[in-house]
């Protein structure tokens, strides 16, 4: 396989993966493209490489910057804007994790708290509902904290210990 083919394959694969999670395909592709580029890329080049419109490129770059995983750069002398992706993977994971927590997990926890604290009458049905949603609340909270700590303590002894556990 030669370089151009490999690059394309990578970008398409990352795009498909993104769409399987909540991220749109083009957004993921742009991110992929930037991750494997060794220097800042202009909007023109992104449009050209991915065959997308200016509006599309602009909107998805905006989203990526909102997520904090793509940065705008200015080259001296050049009028155009250039873009780079966060390339440090640990840092990337932290940012994605934080963002998803903020956008999805926290609001969900709020609702779970609400619905799990209704006054349960004595029907088995209602008791089960309260019981199950309470467990869910605890579980989601635990998982959220865990993810948070895991990304935070990336390179330290705990991380290494966990690594060792994996043989």
Q: E strand or H helix at 18, and its extent?
A: helix 3-20
Sequence-ordered list of residues with C-beta below 8 angstroms from that of 54, at least 6 positions apart, any chain: 43, 47
Of 48, 66, 73, 81, the one binding DNA (CB under 7 A) is 81
Which of 65/143 has CB closer to a copy of itself? 143
Of 54, 113, 128, 142, the one binding DNA (CB under 7 A) is 54
Binding flag, residue 37, DNA (CB under 7 A): no
CA distance 25 to 19: 5
Minimum gap (Å) between residue 117 Cβ and DNA = 29
CA distance 125 to 23: 37
Of 37, 57, 60, 86, the one binding a copy of itself (CB under 8 A) is 37
Binding flag, residue 100, DNA (CB under 7 A): no
Minimum gap (Å) between residue 87 Cβ and a copy of itself = 7
3-class DSSP assignment, residue 41: strand
Whether 87 and 33 have beta carbons less than 8 Å apart is answered as: no
Minimum gap (Å) between residue 96 Cβ and DNA = 17
């Amino acid at each position: 396989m030669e370089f151009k083919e490999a690059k394309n394959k990578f970008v398409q694969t990352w795009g498909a993966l993104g769409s399987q999670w909540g991220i749109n395909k083009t957004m993921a592709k742009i991110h992929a493209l930037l991750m494997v580029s060794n220097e800042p890329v202009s909007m023109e080049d992104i449009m050209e490489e991915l065959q997308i419109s200016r509006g599309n490129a602009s909107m998805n770059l905006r989203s990526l910057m909102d997520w904090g995983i793509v940065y705008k750069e200015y080259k001296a002398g050049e009028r155009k804007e250039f873009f780079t992706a966060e390339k440090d993977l640990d840092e990337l994971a932290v940012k994605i994790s934080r963002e998803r927590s903020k956008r999805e997990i926290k609001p969900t926890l709020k609702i779970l708290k609400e619905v799990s604290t209704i006054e349960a009458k004595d029907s088995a049905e209602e008791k089960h509902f309260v019981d199950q949603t309470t467990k869910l609340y605890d579980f989601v909270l635990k998982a959220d904290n865990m993810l948070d700590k895991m990304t935070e303590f990336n390179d330290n002894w705990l991380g290494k210990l966990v690594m060792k556990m994996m043989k």
